[in-house]
A and B are shown apart, each in its own frame.
Chain A
Amino acid sequence: MSSLLSITRPTKRDSRSNDYDSDVDMKDAMSEYQDEGSKDNTSVVTPGELVTEDPTWMKGHGTYSLENQTYSSVAGNVLRLNRLLSVIPIRGRYEAETGDYIIGRITEVGQKRWKVDIGCKQDAILMLGSVNLPGGILRRKSESDELQMRNFLKEGDLLNAEVQSVYSNGQAALHTRSLRYGKLRNGVLLKVPSSLIIRQKNHSWNLPGNVSVIIGVNGFIWLSKTSSTSTAPSVNASTNSAQSALASKGGYKPGEGSVSITRLEEESSWEIYSDKNDEISASIRGTISRYHNVIKAMSACELGITEKRICMGYDASMMYADTSMLIEREAQEIICQDIIDSEKMRGD
């Protein structure tokens, strides 16, 4: 039917077509798109697009299949891992994976469990048995603990945690059984799309200016005043030394407690569940808000977020004396361009 018609092409707007003309022009080739032959045109596939006709591929996430054909069901990049073919969506909600370092907010206190909003499709579960309670790690959870769950964590509290496991229905279970995890205080939460977060070895850093950042893999970012007993590595030194410092201080190694049990007992006092913020000086507040706006700018320009880039963005933002100027679209773009430029200069 369609061959009868020649429907004229409505004109493209010019704002977008600067660098990406090559993709726009291939639209007619797209309809004749058959198999992997024309794949090198673009790495992005869109819903309903035929990915492969080869039946040997196993179908992973983001695909569906009919007989031998495998189609994409999301807009994203094709990932071929051994014989598994999946499409990773460009955007989308965070999908929890075991071991992810995340930040969440309590939404519900239930029977022996908290429900935590982690920006996932479903709220995650934090069992009473997977948190440190005052009195030490080896303590049994008693009925009285169950009754005073709201004293530990209540609706609206923020915490950082690790994904312990993911159930078959996609729901995540969390744990906070390490001193690095627990209730968050003295800072501000910032949400960015989780696709912008790049998974790294370490997700909590001390930034210049006495500010700490925790970059949750789920796109929740916590900026706070560096606490005096912080174990997070400093990034003032070069990355390499930071890495070694991390190793020496007992960085993140799954399954290996970084703190001795005795110290854990000391620190697992009620204090870790306190709601009271420390004294925060105006200058630190200013620094925190500057970092906050820098990260916001990066998210607005859809730049991947790493600690190094945050630092570079922070330096770039210094040309604006007033942090409130950073929320202007123009300033945001300038900062991001700066980050990209300085990355190029360093050659990475």
Chain B
Amino acid sequence: MGKDAEISLNERNFVKEGLKNGFRLNGRSLDEMRRPIINIDKNEYGFVEVEFGKTKLAVRVSCEIVKPYEDRPFEGIFTISTEISPMASPMFENGKNSDDEVLISRFIEKAVSRSNALDLESLCIIAGEKVWHIRADVNYLSYDGGLIDATCIGVMTALQHFKKPDVTMKGTDIIVHDFDQRQPVPLIILHVPICITYSFFNPVDREENIKGDANLEIAIMDADRSEELVRDGFLVLTLNKNRELIQISKNGGLPIDGLALIELTQRAHDRCQELTEHIKALLQADEKERYKNMNLHLLEVGASR
């Protein structure tokens, strides 16, 4: 990471010392996540803002019709762009992707695209000719740790919320219907992956960590900025509520006992379920609201008659 990524030794020790005694500077307990505030846009489909404490990001999902890849004629295309601009924090430099930024985009890609969260085959219009290209653009507005978790929630909420225009075929031509003409269709989401990041701290020497049996390493959920700068390693878990692990990424860092890691995955699963429910509830509320605003009473009356 670029400038401003450094944290004074004093502050570093303060954060560590606090963690050793089980306190976090932000007042949360060790495995407490910040409650995400998800704002779903009232007017458009597929625009979601997520606030994760002071971390803030906006996700916009859009679509267009393109020619599919030659080797996959039956599948649509899904891309996620996660470029972090210096707007989020001066530690991110413009145009220069640091290793951490690449890692973040890889994590999101593996969590969402690679796990087939979005059914790509349903995006096909004419095989080998025309498919939908769905793209999710993530804009980071403010950074205070937990980018991966927040991005994943944002992208998954936006995808579930997004609706693409309906198309009909007329011979070899296709007609894209306006939202006013026909009801737009939602995307087919096969499962909802949720990312949970744990940050590890070593309260003792490295000798103890490698040879000792005490396993004193501290794992905290959803680190904020200062904790992310101090941490000795981290683990990204992606799971869904069907008790499936989608990704585990512990890219080096502090060695952690295998059993401890298994315990973390179990705890992460509980958190994942909560979050999935939370997102679901929000989306349903939004759906209801929209339905009400569309004034379809007349149709309903007609249908019941």
B3 within 8 A of A: no
What B residues does A65 contact at CB under 8 A?
Answer: 207
Question: Please, what's the 1-or-0 string for B105-137, where 1 marks a CB less than 8 Å from any CB in chain A?
Answer: 000000000000000000000000000000000
Give the shortest distance, in Å, between B124 (CB) and chain A (any CB): 46
Size category of the A interface is: under 10
B211 within 8 A of A: yes
Using a CB-CB cutoff of 8 Å, which residues 46-60 of chain A contact chain B? 48
A4 within 8 A of B: no
A64 within 8 A of B: yes
B212 within 8 A of A: yes
What B residues does A71 contact at CB under 8 A?
Answer: 211
Using a CB-CB cutoff of 8 Å, which residues 29-52 of chain A contact chain B? 48
What A residues does B210 contact at CB under 8 A?
Answer: 48
Using a CB–CB cutoff of 8 Å, the interface residues on chain B facing chain A are 205, 207-208, 210-212
Which 5 pairs show the lowest CB-CB distances between chains A and B?
A66-B207, A66-B211, A64-B207, A66-B208, A66-B212
Name the CB-closest residue of A to B259.
Answer: A1
11 contacts between A and B (CB under 8 A): A48-B210, A48-B211, A64-B207, A65-B207, A66-B205, A66-B207, A66-B208, A66-B211, A66-B212, A69-B211, A71-B211
What B residues does A64 contact at CB under 8 A?
Answer: 207
- Please report the C-alpha to C-alpha distance between residue A64 and residue B210 in the assembled complex, in whole angstroms: 11
What A residues does B207 contact at CB under 8 A?
Answer: 64-66
- Please report the C-alpha to C-alpha distance between residue A48 and residue B206 in the assembled complex, in whole angstroms: 13
Question: Please, what's the 1-or-0 string for A67-82, where 1 marks a CB less than 8 Å from any CB in chain B?
Answer: 0010100000000000
- Please report the C-alpha to C-alpha distance between residue A65 and residue B210 in the assembled complex, in whole angstroms: 11
What B residues does A69 contact at CB under 8 A?
Answer: 211
What B residues does A48 contact at CB under 8 A?
Answer: 210-211
A-B contact sample (8 more), CB < 8 A, given A65-B207, A66-B211, A66-B212: A48-B210, A48-B211, A64-B207, A66-B205, A66-B207, A66-B208, A69-B211, A71-B211
- Please report the C-alpha to C-alpha distance between residue A48 and residue B212 in the assembled complex, in whole angstroms: 12
Name the CB-closest residue of A to B206.
Answer: A64
What A residues does B211 contact at CB under 8 A?
Answer: 48, 66, 69, 71
Name the CB-closest residue of B to A1.
Answer: B258
- Please report the C-alpha to C-alpha distance between residue A65 and residue B212 in the assembled complex, in whole angstroms: 10
Give the shortest distance, in Å, between A89 (CB) and chain B (any CB): 19
What A residues does B212 contact at CB under 8 A?
Answer: 66
Give the shortest distance, in Å, between B87 (CB) and chain A (any CB): 41
Name the CB-closest residue of A to B204.
Answer: A66
- Please report the C-alpha to C-alpha distance between residue A18 and residue B208 in the assembled complex, in whole angstroms: 40
What B residues does A66 contact at CB under 8 A?
Answer: 205, 207-208, 211-212
Which residue, of A48, A65, A66, A69, has the highest number of chain B Cβ atoms within 10 A? A66
- Please report the C-alpha to C-alpha distance between residue A69 and residue B212 in the assembled complex, in whole angstroms: 10
Name the CB-closest residue of A to B258.
Answer: A1
Name the CB-closest residue of A to B209.
Answer: A66
Give the shortest distance, in Å, between B213 (CB) and chain A (any CB): 10
Give the shortest distance, in Å, between A33 (CB) and chain B (any CB): 14
Give the shortest distance, in Å, between B81 (CB) and chain A (any CB): 43
